[in-house]
Structure 1
């Protein structure tokens, strides 16, 4: 079975003009119909016919273009299907929502925020619609609005909470914590009911479920990994060194249930001071290549990397210049799902806004363009008050090895005016992590062949029902902290 997620690597091929114009205008239904017409054409004729030396060219070679264009159309079709699921709030409803959240919020404020580009929107079938998380973004990025919240939520502690850990790392070289988490992934009851009804129409009494749940992976920051219990025995468990590590279940369900695990591990944050390191004159070239679709060496990113590192020869100074650019110039902004974005790094460089994963991947691609090996890492951020999703980066400086760059944490510290902790996250992390992934867009083991909810990352898990990957509100997940003991 073809792994549809591999189609995303062809997104940089673009779209036929008619489909592109419809997509840009927000006429997604008609754009999908146009794609279906392209896909219905006879693609068996796309292979070039052999040419005899000195002979004539074959008639009409590759009449439909390169074969990868079919992959691009398949991926774009799924993007077009999902976009209306993410951009759901009409303009009048958006204003009403903000007026219900912010005291004395006026229509003039709404229009000013809209003109400033503070709210993400698209046209959907002729109507301007805002992304579901637009209000969260505004309240997280505009302190003057947050101060006027009618019912302010409990504030999560900032990255400044790790300042004592930083001091201990400087004194002793490292700090560790033992962590136990309970996590699960499953279908919403509504999604399962719909899938079961469809199955019964086909004469079946069960839904065939495949589920993948992130697990802690072996890496320098994690040790003593134990898988303590499962809601039911997994069908298989990926190796500890898998690029995106998961527990995997396959089952036929007549009633909905989640798949979960309890696991423990030791996390160790080791201190690095890259700005006082002497780098080798010749650096390695592994992890310096582009990886489509999101780590693409586009013309804009090439020009940006060249300008940022102009006049520098020391790889540490190059990495620091890139880190400064991302943390000091990128505005934190809740994002549409990565699936519906064709290139998250080029978009970040052009728009200078993004979330933790977009900042991390932009740092990675700029480092690679500058000849600095860089990798993706992601999983969970773990605090005593909460557990959530998070992404960050690692970069390599010979002879010292891998170090970290958490650009989102660094940007948060820049906004707070805490330069010491902004610099901490150039080279260092903290103990509040669960690392599940060490590569962007890596396949699972065993692979998920239908479109994933998030093909880039693996923070909460994935579910497939009767061969169809679930998305958005069809999924339900949980992460609960059972133990956090600093050593």
Structure 2
């Protein structure tokens, strides 16, 4: 490959050749991949055997497009696994979860844009977590669940208490211990071992990365308390995407486990309570392909939302309000298969925590407001889940936070004070592992990552091939959460 394969995504915005784009849109992925392979082979032959490269530097297209085709090829290999359900299968799944659910009801949801789908071989297939989206975000379906889940009132009560403490004392802290693990499924390991033996080897060369708490303004007293075996490398505490790394030759399948502790401190900030400096900094205000891109749609939206507004804090608030009050929460396919995330979120008005964060960051940057990515886990006494949010900078106050996903959740629950809390603030129930979007690991992966942009559950590769989906088994658990 011409470069780190995970870097190929930075060229996605060059687009696809028209014939390949039409095949991809219709879900004819095998034929699209065959055309990509043929085009890449032609490019290589023309470059190596054709006229002098200096005289003919783009025999079949620009380098960026050839590089992007490598990413697109892998995306199309993965897309069918992200959209596994036919209409009949999707309806059957909903009927197994929701009382008295009908085909007509499903089709009405489809027409209203409430279920995510793509063509696979010319037939509509539905995203693998579409049912969870409906059940977790629509009270009407929550009330019809055959197996009712928690109503979220206890979690909201804890957040109200944290908010009140932060307003009263200026901060809230917790000492947290998390345990996580990653490994190959038995099926994936057996297949990898069989391939290795066919090549004359008796083991699988495995490399694994797990996210770990990084040093940042809100995290302190970091410690690694336990590892199932001696790590090969621990990334520096200030790494953009901090990981613990193992490398081993395995004759039998096993997972890698990590336990770590840290103190998380959330400090209260009201972005509208101070006068912004007349001149603001310009760091972290540029584009970062392929997703933080100033498309015409986003430029027009940013201009419309901020018309007549001069305060950067008020501009940021308007972006936050637009997302939290208009974007419907939808579980997403792997970010690996997505393109132009913020434009799609703003136009379709749906997304998950990371998609909302990227949209907020991009709108802020268009308006000249420095904005950054941050992610890791949302943790608590009874939870440990993946989560993403955003940071934005207003001088003289400095960096503050925007959690559009939590804000949107509070809006759906009618908790306006808590919705406002997450513009400027977080809560101490966080683990920050990543402070940059699309940052490489230390050491970098050889193969394609499961997520080339973010890292919340970890990554693993076998004999240089990155694994994803059901081939990977991960777990994470909060072992201790002590409010301070």
- Determine if the TM-score, normalized by the shorter chain, exceeds 0.5: yes
Contact between 1:356 and 1:390, CA under 8 Å: does it hold in 2? yes
- Count of equivalent residues: 480
How much is the aligned-residue C-alpha RMSD, in angstroms?
1.5
The answer for the alignment partner of 1:432 in structure 2 is 429
Question: Does the C-alpha gap of structure 1 residues 203 and 430 become closer, same or farther in structure 2, counting only changes over 3 Å?
Answer: same
Separation in structure 2 between the aligned mates of residue 46 and residue 163 of structure 1, nearest angstrom: 63
* TM superposition shift of 1:204: 0.8
Matched, 1:338 2:335: yes
1:137 maps to what in 2? 133
User: What is the CA–CA distance in structure 2 between the aligned matches of 1:76 and 1:338, rounded to whole Å?
Assistant: 13
Q: In the alignment, which residue of structure 2 is the partner of 1:55?
A: none
Shift, 1:158, TM fit = 4.2
Alignment correspondent of 1:458: 455
TM-score by length of 1: 0.96
The answer on whether the counterparts of 1:185 and 1:478 sit within 8 Å (CA) in structure 2 is yes
State the Cα deviation string for residues 371-403 of structure 1 (Å, max 9, x = none).
000000000000111110000000011111110
Provide closer, same or farther for how the CA distance between residues 155 and 419 of structure 1 changes in structure 2, counting only shifts above 3 A.
closer
Looking at structure 2, the residues matched to 108 and 328 of structure 1 have their Cα atoms a distance apart, in angstroms, of: 29
After superposition, give the CA deviation of every residue in 1:183-236 in whole Å (9 maximum; x if it has no partner).
Answer: 111111111111111111111110001111000000111000011110111111
Q: Which shows bigger deviation, 217-226 or 130-139?
A: 130-139
**Is the Cα contact below 8 Å between 1:453 and 1:469 reproduced in 2?**
yes
Deviation at 1:168, TM superposition (A): 0.8
Contact kept, 8 Å, 2:179 with 2:478, in 1: the verdict is yes
Change (3 A) 1:318 1:208: same
Where 2:85 maps in the other structure, the secondary structure is strand
Partner secondary structure for residue 339 of structure 1: helix
Residues 50 and 37 of structure 1, relative CA distance in 2, 3 Å threshold: closer
Q: 1:347 aligns with which of 344, 348, 371?
A: 344
Tell me, in whole angstroms, the C-alpha distance in 2 between the residues paired with 1:278 and 1:387.
37
Shift of 1:42: 3.6
* Aligned partners of 2:47 and 2:53 also within 8 Å: no
Residue 386 of structure 1 corresponds to 383
Equivalent positions of 1:208-287 (< 5 A) are 208-287=205-284
Alpha-carbon distance between aligned partners in 1 of 2:400 and 2:47, rounded to the nearest angstrom: 46
Q: Which moved more, 1:127-136 or 1:385-394?
A: 127-136
Corresponding residue for residue 183 of structure 1: 180
1:71 to 48, 54, 67: 67
Other-structure match for 1:164: 161
Q: Secondary structure at the match of 1:41?
A: helix
The equivalences for 1:292-371 within 5 A come to 292-371=289-368
Tell me which residue corresponds to 1:7. 8
The separation in 1 between residues aligned to 2:211 and 2:238, in whole angstroms, is: 13
**CA offsets per residue over residues 112-140 of structure 1, 9 Å max, x none?**
11111111111111322111111111111
- Matches of 2:57 and 2:399 in 1, distance apart? 48
- Paired residues of 1:159 and 1:409 also in contact (CA < 8 A): no
TM-score, scaled to structure 2: 0.96
User: Residue 15 of structure 1: SS of its match in structure 2?
Assistant: coil
1:41 equivalenced with 2:42 (yes/no) = yes
In 2 relative to 1, CA 61–455 (structure 1 residues): closer, same or farther, beyond 3 Å? closer
User: Are the counterparts in 2 of residues 46 and 67 from structure 1 also a CA contact under 8 Å?
Assistant: no
Deviations 1:23-63 (A, max 9, x none): 00110110000001011114375599688xxxxxx5x6522
Gaps of 5+ in 2: none
Do 2:241 and 2:455's aligned partners in 1 also have CA atoms closer than 8 Å? yes
Q: Does residue 292 of structure 2 align to residue 291 of structure 1?
A: no
Once residues 317 and 134 of structure 1 are traced to their aligned partners in structure 2, the CA distance between those partners, rounded to angstroms, is 35
Q: Report how far residue 153 of structure 1 moved.
A: 3.1
SS of 1:88's equivalent? coil
**In structure 2, distance between residues paired with 1:97 and 1:181:** 33
